[in-house]
Amino acid sequence: MTYRRETDVLGAIEIDARRLYGANTQRALNVFPVGGGKRLGDYPMLVKALLRVKCACASTNQAIGALSGEIAGAILAAADAFIVEFPAEEFPVASLHGGGGTSANMNVNEVLANVAEESLGGCRGQYRIIHPNDHVNLNQSTNDVYPTACRLAVLDSLTQLRAAHQELDQAITTVIEKYGTEQRLARTCLQDALPVTFADFFGGYRFGLQRSADRVFECAAGLEEVNLGGTVCGRNIDAPAAYRSAVVISLAKIAGVPRLRPRADLFDAAQNADDLAAVSACLDVLCRQLIKIALDLRLLNSGPIGGIKEIDLPAVVVGSSVMPGKINPVIPEYAIQLSLQAAGRHHASAAALSHAELDLNVWESLMTCNVLDMIDMLSVAMHSLAVSAFTGLRVISSNIQRHLESPIAALTELARSVGYSEASRRARQTAPDRED
């Protein structure tokens, strides 16, 4: 392997000559092992959000005369190319690293600088024409660039969640259209209750899921307030006024988020990531909603002889290595595990909110990657329930009719005419083995 040598404040370091990243990224690779975690390149929405932020900054710096058209154009061309064709291997730093996102920001700065440098006739790693800090990162800090990109990435990823929710909603609606008028025995406290229809029962799923999804999307609107232009900790003297007044407007156009705007207080924005934590909390509620539905499906599918078996879920895999013919409710179980894992990520994000010491929350990598993972996991869970559980679900009418023979409904109706005490006395007569 051929290496090139770059020098920074810590001295010289060798880098794979084929790579577009530079010294800062290489040092991050050396000190932040990925282990069982993910790399920055495993979150393409986050990297692309960073690239869009860099486009807005370069365009604005050119507009105010801080960058020449040649340099700004080279940076913009490099960023646009990577947004279209994303090379994950060039963004290898650990997604969770110390420094509040500095390694992620510098990884992007170095890659853009090297591509832009070469496009203008320079050599990779020399930065004589375009420098990662002096040009790509001009009038910026990791502390405003990275949090802004984090919010854009989450907003972008919600498209996936919305599509998955709509898919599950439609699958449940199809089951209601097919079986909605059929009655089933409701259970409260896992005991016999009263007859209801499948439209009543599955309709509750639809409304609950819709409310939880709406809550996520409504809460996510808070992410449209960003701190780009606040540089290190929110001071308005660390970037030119002309740049600060224009950069978020430019980013809103580039990112396609028309309501994007600066946070009212940029010191608040540097210190507090409660907007990310709030989205995480709403996603956590959606986790619990999906777990409840999946658990219900397991119960109603239980059997085939010794359980409830009022529904039959599609058979998708063999259920046992030793019991022939056994079919397990693996799709609900898959959805439950995804949802439980997602809920655990919320716990970490909530803790990160309260650990934001003094002037900067440095834990936004943790919060953002967890929220992106939650969105991905919940989207997969909803998709799986839609296509492999509700689609193909059958109602077992013979078992349901037998369950509807429970005396509870008749006794409840009787109580309306003869009173609760008399109905209770007659109930005791029908259950002679029950002690008074």
Domains of the chain: 3-138 (1.10.275.10), 159-230+268-400 (1.20.200.10)
Q: Which helix (H) or strand (E) holds 381?
A: helix 364-385
pTM, 2 dp? 0.93
Handedness of CA 14, 67, 46, 347 (dihedral sign): positive
Distance (Å, rounded) from C-alpha 89 to C-alpha 397? 55
**417-427: pLDDT as tens digits:** 999 998 888 88
Confidence (pLDDT) at 429: 79
Of how many residues is the chain composed?
436
Q: In this structure, what is the dihedral angle of CA atoms 232, 234, 235, 238, given to the nearest 10 degrees?
A: 40
**275-313: pLDDT as tens digits:** 999 999 999 999 999 999 999 999 999 999 999 999 999
Active-site positions read 320
Task: Give 432's pLDDT tier (boundaries 50, 70, 90).
Answer: low
- Residue 116: CB partners within 8 Å, gap ≥ 6? 71, 74, 75, 77, 78, 129, 130, 135, 136
Task: Give 436's pLDDT tier (boundaries 50, 70, 90).
Answer: very low
Interval 215-225 mean pLDDT: 97
Judge contact between 401 and 306, C-beta under 8 A. no
Interval 322-345 mean pLDDT: 95
Residue 259 is classified by DSSP as: T
Judge contact between 141 and 232, C-beta under 8 A. yes
**81-110: pLDDT as tens digits:** 999 999 999 999 999 998 899 999 999 999
